[in-house]
Structure 1
Amino acid sequence: MLSAVRVVTAALLVFTGPAADPVRDQQQWVLDALNIEQAWSVTKGEGVTVAVVDSAVDREVKELKGRVNAGPDMTTGTVERELPAGKHGTAMAALIAGSGEGDGLIGVAPGARILSLPMIIDDEPGFAVPPQASDDMVAESPLARALRYAANHGAQVVSMSIGSYGPLRSEREAVSYALGKGVVLVAAVGNDGLTEYAKEKGTSYWSFPAGYPGVIGVAATDKQGKRATFSSDNLSVLVSAPGVDVPVVKRKSGYELSEGTSSAAALVAGVAALIKSRYPALRPEQVAQALSSSARGRPAAGYDDQTGFGVVDAAAALNAAERLTGAQRSVAPGMEHFGQGEDSPVPERPGPDPLRLWLYGGGVLVALIMFCGAIVVLNQRKEE
């Protein structure tokens, strides 16, 4: 029996028209919103490979030439074929690691490399993988295969600007496997914020893989740092990033503007690459903590299901990551969002409190002496 909810779509990014040249001017607001340029004084993502689970990346785009490794087709575990380069995957890869060659678009981590793991064909109608059989009948979904391949082939970060409405056991297990290997997983939360369901219920359907535990779910914000109206709102949202009028590269050449949580997720994956470049031993949950604890525009309550803990700040996240390693030196002076504060008191050792034991013992001893004294007095009176 086929499961309709297992259609994995990449319809999380909408191209809204050509971007005016030069593209660097068009993308400056994105770099500023994420505080990227200050982070570049520390690292540009050298030594990190980011797996892009999406449509195949065009390796001939000038911003990506010589910096993309192509993995196998993830839509099947048996047939080997090379999928054609896709619009969506190419756009996401350049947002993460575009080199800026020839005054072109520059990615968040221009020193990083890309591992392209294609599992969608965005030139086909519906922009989707054929429906999969139910979880009981399929050993691994395409996403599960992609996650395991990425973890086994040197990826430190996985970017997933994809989504579907149904969780699968094989994917949960693959997520756990990748996290166990130290791989940071980042995913778009989806564009269901304006659906009838969201309007009626005040929350959006959960999208997977963003909904799996351990995955960094990313919502989209506009130029004012507010949640984009289309961005899904639910508890899978950890942080947010620009997702409106974000310039992206076109397949082969040129640029256009994008809109969606896809772009937001790719940008955060780039920031995760910066952190892993500087602190390669940092565990996935620590990278998530660094991103969330240092975010800008934190909601009044500290967290909400629209923008999570706020908009990612790359330089502040690097500082937060450093604190998590136990180091004291600041990597980006002036970005300390939190004071040093006083250390918490050392927890008391478990078991009885020695002082209370002495007081209790002393009290018992005094009572015993008084009791014995009273007996002596009574005996003396009887003898008289």
Structure 2
Amino acid sequence: MTRLGAAGSALALACLVAGPASALDVRGDQQWVLDALNAEKAWEVTRGAGVTVAVLDSGVDPSVPELRGKVTVAPDMQSSMFDDAPRNGSHGTAMASVIAGSGRDGGLRGVAPDARILSVPVIADDERDEEKVEPDDGFGQAGESPLSRGLRYATDQGARVISMSLGAYGSERADREAVAYALSRGVVLVAASGNDGDSVYAREHGTSFWTFPAGFPGVIGVGSVDKKGKPTGFSSDNLSVMVAAPGDGVPAVFPGGSYGRIEGTSVSTALVAGVAALIKSKYPTLRPELVAQALTSTTRGKPAARYNDKVGFGVVDAAAALDRAGRLAGYRVSLPVRDDLHFGNGTTAPPPTPPGPDPLRMWVFGGGVVLGLIGFGAGVIVLTRRSERQTAGR
């Protein structure tokens, strides 16, 4: 098994290896993941119907049984020309399966099994394909990148949750603006914090490099825990981590319908995106910042200090987050204010003078103009008569 990482300034994914397993095995193997997230309790309220989760990743195979009939495939965002046919990818398919796997015929169940998937290819599984990515090839909007194109496309297509199991060390302006665009339209953004927790730099400095888009404000950054709820050694530790989810030996589906286990903050991200989909299914108008509050305020395994940079505020609890989201959704955005109220005990200030000219001053000004004209006319008449008399005398 390999893990999501970030290399240079380009977005990076994991190359996942599928191991042989049967449908019965995958159901049993994934039970600990559902238990860790308290997902089955949340399904008593909602299973994610009516919500589309955009998977910004490598392409998703829509033919696997668990995803059949519920995947829409977008154009390949690696080029602004959109002329490359999307290809199925192991990473994207695996992420989509843990988000919205239907469990058909005893197969794998995602956290939001009734949700739909919008596959938005922004990168390929094969690292060699990074050379083909055109962040700005001169034909699209200046400063575009595959990620920014994918974010805007997914938002415009009606996705309510966007899952980004990818990351890069660099912070691009185009990506930052696209994140703001999605958040302003009520889309919940979830991204991987990265797998640099066991890097040489992290061991020497006690913290990991930030990766983006997880590091952007408003994005829910996700760390990884094991079966015991402990932080995995590879999970990046920095202040972009908001919550955590299982990320070690998590069963998933690969192209063609094979099963295997994966590890990394990539799969942790997909699981949290599934929980966000449950919340948006039940409370579709809940703002992204309130979804984040529902997730962070109801976690399991909270750190002793209430927060640390390995697991954030703790491991997501889907059922508790749904319950908290219901209370947050009941809050009124504003309160009515009576017109006759004012601060202090004094008398109410008089109403403001309506805009426009003062009538008295207009009359004075008009009268002055009329008198001036009369005086000017009289002067002209006197001078004219005087001139006539002088001419007649000569």
TM-score range, shorter chain: 0.7 to 0.9
- Cα distance in 2, alignment partners of residues 43 and 65 from structure 1: 21
Q: Is the 8 A contact 1:119 1:129 kept in 2?
A: no
SS of the residue corresponding to residue 158 of structure 2 reads: coil
SS of the residue corresponding to residue 5 of structure 1 reads: coil
Match of 2:381 in 1: none
- Cα distance in 2, alignment partners of residues 268 and 188 from structure 1: 10
Structure 2 residue 264 is matched with structure 1 residue 243:
no
Match of 1:257 in 2: 261
- CA displacement, residues 79-129 of structure 1 (integer Å, 9 cap, x when unaligned): 422121000000000100000111110100010000000011113537786
Q: Which amino acid in 2 is paired with 1:64? A: L
Structure 2 residue 27 is matched with structure 1 residue 24:
yes
1:1-384 map, 5 Å: 5-11=8-14, 15=17, 17-19=19-21, 21-125=24-128, 130=133, 132=135, 138-326=142-330
- Cα distance in 2, alignment partners of residues 81 and 127 from structure 1: 14
Q: In terms of Rg, which structure is larger?
A: 2
1:25–1:166 CA distance, 2 compared to 1 (3 A): same
SS of the residue corresponding to residue 249 of structure 2 reads: strand
**CA apart distance, 1:254:** 1.6
Q: Which amino acid in 2 is paired with 1:228? A: T
**CA apart distance, 1:5:** 3.2
Question: Gaps spanning 5+ residues in structure 1: where?
Answer: 328-348, 355-384
**CA apart distance, 1:352:** 6.1
Q: Which amino acid in 2 is paired with 1:247? A: P
Q: Which amino acid in 2 is paired with 1:35? A: N
- Cα distance in 2, alignment partners of residues 66 and 89 from structure 1: 17
Q: Is the 8 A contact 1:16 1:259 kept in 2?
A: no
Q: Is the 8 A contact 1:19 1:247 kept in 2?
A: no
- Cα distance in 1, alignment partners of residues 291 and 242 from structure 2: 12
- Cα distance in 1, alignment partners of residues 229 and 236 from structure 2: 15
SS of the residue corresponding to residue 117 of structure 2 reads: strand
**CA apart distance, 1:278:** 0.1
**CA apart distance, 1:66:** 0.6
Alignment RMSD (CA, Å): 2.2
- Cα distance in 2, alignment partners of residues 138 and 187 from structure 1: 25
- Cα distance in 2, alignment partners of residues 73 and 115 from structure 1: 12
1:205–1:248 CA distance, 2 compared to 1 (3 A): same
Q: Which amino acid in 2 is paired with 1:61? A: V
**CA apart distance, 1:6:** 2.5
Of stretches 181-190 and 16-25 in structure 1, the one that deviates more from structure 2 is: 16-25
Q: Is the 8 A contact 1:204 1:233 kept in 2?
A: yes
- Cα distance in 1, alignment partners of residues 131 and 110 from structure 2: 26
Provide the TM-score with structure 2 as the length reference: 0.79
SS of the residue corresponding to residue 304 of structure 2 reads: coil
- CA displacement, residues 7-35 of structure 1 (integer Å, 9 cap, x when unaligned): 11113x75484456421000000000000
Q: Is the 8 A contact 1:206 1:234 kept in 2?
A: yes
SS of the residue corresponding to residue 47 of structure 1 reads: coil
- Cα distance in 2, alignment partners of residues 15 and 308 from structure 1: 29
Provide the TM-score with structure 1 as the length reference: 0.81
Counting aligned pairs with the same residue, the percent is 59
SS of the residue corresponding to residue 186 of structure 1 reads: strand
Aligned residues: 327
Q: Is the 8 A contact 2:251 2:259 kept in 1?
A: yes
Q: Which amino acid in 2 is paired with 1:240? A: A
SS of the residue corresponding to residue 241 of structure 2 reads: coil
Q: Is the 8 A contact 2:27 2:108 kept in 1?
A: yes
- Cα distance in 2, alignment partners of residues 220 and 17 from structure 1: 21
- CA displacement, residues 130-169 of structure 1 (integer Å, 9 cap, x when unaligned): 47479xx952111001010011001000000001000011
Q: Is the 8 A contact 1:15 1:259 kept in 2?
A: no
Q: Is the 8 A contact 2:191 2:213 kept in 1?
A: yes
- Cα distance in 1, alignment partners of residues 286 and 51 from structure 2: 13
Q: Is the 8 A contact 1:7 1:131 kept in 2?
A: no
- CA displacement, residues 288-317 of structure 1 (integer Å, 9 cap, x when unaligned): 000000010110111110000000000000
